[in-house]
Structure 1
Amino acid sequence: MERKALKIRERGIIIGSIPTGENNCLIDVPGVRVGHKTIDEKTETGYACTGVTAILPHGGNLFKEKVVATSYVINGFGKTTGLVQVNELGQIESPIMLTNTFSVPAVTQGTLQYMLQENKDIGDTTGTINIVTGECNDGLLNSIREMVITPKDTIEAILNASTNPVEEGAVGAGKGMVCFGYKGGIGTSSRKLSVNDGRFFHVGCLVLSNFGGKPEFPFNRYFKNNLHYPLELDKAADGSIIIVLATDAPLSDRQLHRVAKRCGIGLGRTGSHYSHGSGDIVIAFSTANTIKHKQSSYLHTMKTLREDHSIMNELFAAAAEVTEEAIMNSLSQAETTVGRNETVVHSLFDLA
């Protein structure tokens, strides 16, 4: 009998104490859109078990209306594009793209083609554009050397982006990913913070989970009845995770960087110790203030939170909670997957 994919809360495991957003996913941050392109097929010499995931900070023109952003490298064994400029300028001006390691060039090219089509002035009457792409290595299940992902697949993922609840598990960039020796991939979660003036701020997280070995996973933390202990524990493994954090709280890029650091707490709670060969990277943005590509004034004014207000600590706590829950949702939603060389990676919940 086929198992129904469930969020971790639907399995009775509650993470943290802050209320979730309406959908408990990244799109609870107003305006954020997510799209996938999944590839699951035989090739001439192997098997394609991979994909692309696109995160759009808002539904407008991302180049003309940039968002405040930052990145934080927990462990730098990763291959990304665009993060040097993100941290220098504190802005993101493109979709945030996720894929496998060897497809970073093709996905970057596809995203660039899409943005050039949307903005005829880029590279002509105005400057160039900074494309942000992150990756994890799905080579256990995917014939990664074949580099099957094309720029066309990338554009399709962007065009698929919507404000609908995010599909999770073995989809998009998460199709071939493995987490703690079980099937990982895309996971997401959100929190809703109440401010004393009656307003609410949202914090959302989407992860591409592909890290850790079975010995690192804290089974007792999540499963009190011990039914989920594996009969054999594999050795610890390297791997990676890309954490995309979004909020509508009005933060400067420096404040956002402080919040992004707390994602490492949530990652650590799941058992990760940031292994040598793991690319653990946070990409964070705030939708509260946009920066116009062109404006006549030499001044730019925006509101930001006071850092001595209690809401900052709540944002820190929310970042940790959504990261942990997003990782657990990636495990909870991912179904057992067969990839190249008939390799099978089981869902964590096949043990139930």
Structure 2
Amino acid sequence: MTTTDAPSPATHSPSGRPRPRALGWAADGTPGEWNAITDVPGVEVGYRTLIGPAGTVRTGVTAILPRGRAGVGRPVAAGTGVLNGNGEMTGTAWIAETGQLGLPITISNTHAVGACHTGTVRWCSRHHPDLARQWLLPVCAETWDGYLNDINGEHVTPDDVCAALDAAAHGPLAEGSVGGGTGMNCYGFKGGSGTASRLMPFGDATYTVGAFVQANFGSRAELTIRGRRVGPELDVPAPIEEDDWLYGDRTPGGAGSVIVVVATDAPLTGHQCAALARRVPLGLARTGTTGSVFSGDLFLAFSTANDRPSDTAFPQGEPSTAELVTSVALPWNRIDALHTATVQAVEEAVLGALVGADTMTGRAGHTSYALPVDAVQALLDA
């Protein structure tokens, strides 16, 4: 009797579909067990996918909880970055002020930012009422899914956001048309949610860097995989770029946006997290993009090290030296390996969003075609 080992989550999706690493498309570096942002200890991710009747609803919500559902309110060091500002990520002014983040991160479509904000506050008031008695400034980010989704239909509700937060778990993640990435497009193909991770040895320790992308950016002519510009060589329609569907106009190539969240358990300051966020565009660029003005490219990085109670809550009583906090951080002259890991994980996460997505038809019969994996493989092997 022979047995067959189950494929590794690092190389195959939970459904068994090969991921970029199984195809030989992944960047260098060693992934974690699940090759996902959830390889960072404590990080939980939840999806709420909305596929509605008559092809009008193609959207959803992704929730990322840096310390899991139980750890909401305990801050993580955090920093942000921007490649192009045609987008929205709430809560970033407070992150810039304090270098910290204590609430969940949600990602959805452009017109659902309000529902995500309301839903996160509602969820916190239910599960963390003491925290909710203070002010809440959740991070809610977006990309535009109006080609496939009825984006003005208010289909994402605060209850959907609560459902995504309730579903958050630690483990392997589905990619492609799930969660907030359900209705997204990338490089003229069907895009969506993607993730990857890298391990970084540091003396006697090994740290993890994980990336999550909501990929809705890039023009067909730009798509580059493993250093080869494959987009122009793929004979697959790109209706979102080719048809005059937007009030008689064509959508400019590269429009859409991308949100990237980077997590690590390496001890970093808020400034160092911002440095990781600034490296995200280098990973995106390896897949071809030059950063369209019609794309909101916004990034957040956080570190789960230095776990302690929040120092931004209202103080009680007179000041005391007992309130002083001590943190550790990597020295700046040892941080380059984290920069490299970030770039590698972001590149692979974008490819994961493409490889994980199937052809989808949505609003008004609009169709976004899946990346033809076999045709790409033939080009790369030639």
| TM-score (normalizing by structure 2) | 0.84
Structure 1 SS opposite 2:170: coil
- SS of the equivalent of 1:138 reads coil
Change (3 A) 1:123 1:157: closer
Structure with more of its chain in strand, by fraction: 1
Contact kept? 1:228, 1:351, Cα under 8 Å: no
Which residue pairs with 1:349 in the alignment?
A: 372
Gaps of 5+ in 2: 1-14, 242-251, 376-382
State how 1:1-352 maps to structure 2 within 5 Å.
5-16=17-28, 18-42=29-53, 47-59=56-68, 61-122=70-131, 124=133, 127-196=134-203, 198-218=204-224, 221-222=227-228, 229-230=234-235, 234=241, 236-293=253-310, 297-309=322-334, 312-349=335-372, 352=375
What's the CA shift for 1:84? Answer: 1.1
Q: CA deviation at 1:291?
A: 3.9
Shift of 1:306: 1.1
Give, in angstroms, the shift of residue 255 of structure 1: 1.1
Of 140-149 and 58-67, deviating more is: 58-67
How many angstroms does 1:154 deviate by? Answer: 0.4
Alignment CA distance shift 1:50-1:67 (3 Å): same
Task: For residue 227 of structure 1, report the CA deviation from its aligned partner.
Answer: 11
- In the alignment, the residues of structure 2 paired with residue 350 and residue 192 of structure 1 have an alpha-carbon distance, to the nearest angstrom, of 27
RMSD: 2.2
Gaps of 5+ in 1: none
For each residue in 1:184-212, what CA deviation from the matched residue of structure 2 results, as whole angstroms up to 9, or x when unmatched?
Answer: 0000000001112x210000000000011
Offset at residue 6 of structure 1 (A) = 2.4
After superposition, what is the alpha-carbon deviation per residue over 1:224-271, rounded to whole angstroms, capped at 9, x for unaligned? 8x9962266756231200000000000000111112211110011111
The aligned amino acid for 1:22 is: E
CA distance change for structure 1 residues 300 and 219 in 2, over 3 Å: closer, same or farther?
Answer: closer
Tell me, in whole angstroms, the C-alpha distance in 2 between the residues paired with 1:188 and 1:79. Answer: 21
TM-score for the superposition, normalised by structure 1? 0.91
Letter in 1 for 2:294: G
Structure 1 counterpart of 2:45, which letter?
Answer: V
SS of 2:227's equivalent in the other structure is: helix
Q: Does the aligned pair in 1 maintain the 2:269–2:329 contact within 8 Å?
A: yes
SS in 1 for 2:341: helix
SS at 1:34's partner residue?
strand
Query: Deviations for 1:312-333, whole angstroms, at most 9, x for unmatched residues?
Result: 1110101111111100110011
Q: Give me the whole-angstrom Cα distance separating, in 1, the residues matched to 2:284 and 2:351.
A: 10
Shift of 1:59: 2.4
Q: Distance in 2 between matches of 1:231 and 1:346?
A: 7
CA distance in 2, matches of 1:24, 1:219: 19
Percent of pairs with identical residues: 36
Tell me the SS of whatever aligns to 1:134.
Answer: strand
Task: Provide the C-alpha distance between the structure 1 equivalents of 2:202 and 2:369, rounded to a whole number of angstroms.
Answer: 42
Instruction: Give distance in 1, aligned partners of 2:232 and 2:79.
Output: 41
Write the deviation string for residues 259-297 of structure 1: whole angstroms up to 9, x where unpaired.
221111001111111111111011111001134136863
The answer (yes or no) to whether the contact 1:228–1:349 under 8 Å persists in 2 is no
- How far has the Cα of 1:92 moved from its partner? 1.0
Verify the 8 A CA contact 1:25 1:190 in the aligned structure 2: yes
SS at match of 1:325: helix
The CA distance in 1 between the partners of 2:190 and 2:18, in whole Å, is: 14
